[in-house]
Amino acid sequence: MAWVTPVTDRTLSDILNKETKGYFNKADWTRIYDNSDVLNDLIDSKFSETITFDTVVVPNIDGAPNSILALLNTTLANVERMRVELLASFPFVLITGAVEVVDDWEAGDLKVVPDYTDVNEWEETLGIMYDAVTDASLVEINIVDESDNLIVDESGNFLISELWST
């Protein structure tokens, strides 16, 4: 599976004019899910960091709203876990602009539901993280012994120093 350029330019006009981008469909969901999977694999291969990734079978959009929403929340939780992990464990991977991805949407007449701006943010956040992880290049070198490590980029720029005492 390959990375697919996210769609991030949905507008209210798309909805009002009943344009294709005005609808969240199976193709959009599949792109978000597949791109999440690609990014998760990239993080694992590049940083040796395994982040929980829950498998989802993207449903037909004509199913029961509560079950569809549960699957969507699972998809979005995958994205949010990656965002949180990158911020916490890899501060040198700059994901400026990547926003918190809400993953606890609820069905119901009086509930707040995602709209086109949320979908744009989901895809923008994935794109920001993918670009940042793709651009990150690290070399870990041993300074004195196995307890002192310095992480530098390939140009020799200092990124993080971590000292562990035994």
- Whole-number Å distance between alpha carbons of 64 and 59: 10
In the numeric block, the tokens 């994901």 are attached to 95
Cβ contact 39:82 at 8 Å: yes
> What is the residue type of 66?
N
Confidence (pLDDT) at 93: 85
Q: Report how far residue 91's alpha carbon sits from residue 130's, in angstroms, rounded to the nearest whole number.
A: 15
The one-letter code for the residue type at 130 is Y
Q: How many other CB atoms sit within 10 Å of the CB of residue 149?
A: 16
User: What's the pTM?
Assistant: 0.80
Distance CA 36, CA 53 (A): 9
Q: What are the tens digits of pLDDT across the range 28-68?
A: 999 999 999 999 999 999 888 899 999 998 877 666 677 88
CB 106 within 8 A of CB 115: no
pLDDT at 43: 93
**Amino acid letter, residue 44:** D
Question: Does pLDDT of 150 surpass 90?
Answer: no
Residue 15 predicted with pLDDT over 80: yes
pLDDT tops 50 at residue 141: no
Least confident of 69-73, 77-81, 111-115, 134-138: 134-138
The alpha carbon torsion through 76, 123, 120, 108 (nearest 10 deg) reads -20
Residues facing 155 on adjacent strands? none
Q: Tell me, what DSSP letter sits at residue 163?
A: E
Give the C-alpha separation, 108 to 78, whole Å.
Answer: 24
Q: CA-CA distance, 137 to 125, in Å (whole number)?
A: 20
Q: Are 56 and 74 in contact (CB under 8 A)?
A: yes
CB hemisphere CA count around 88 (13 angstroms)? 8
Amino acid at 73: N
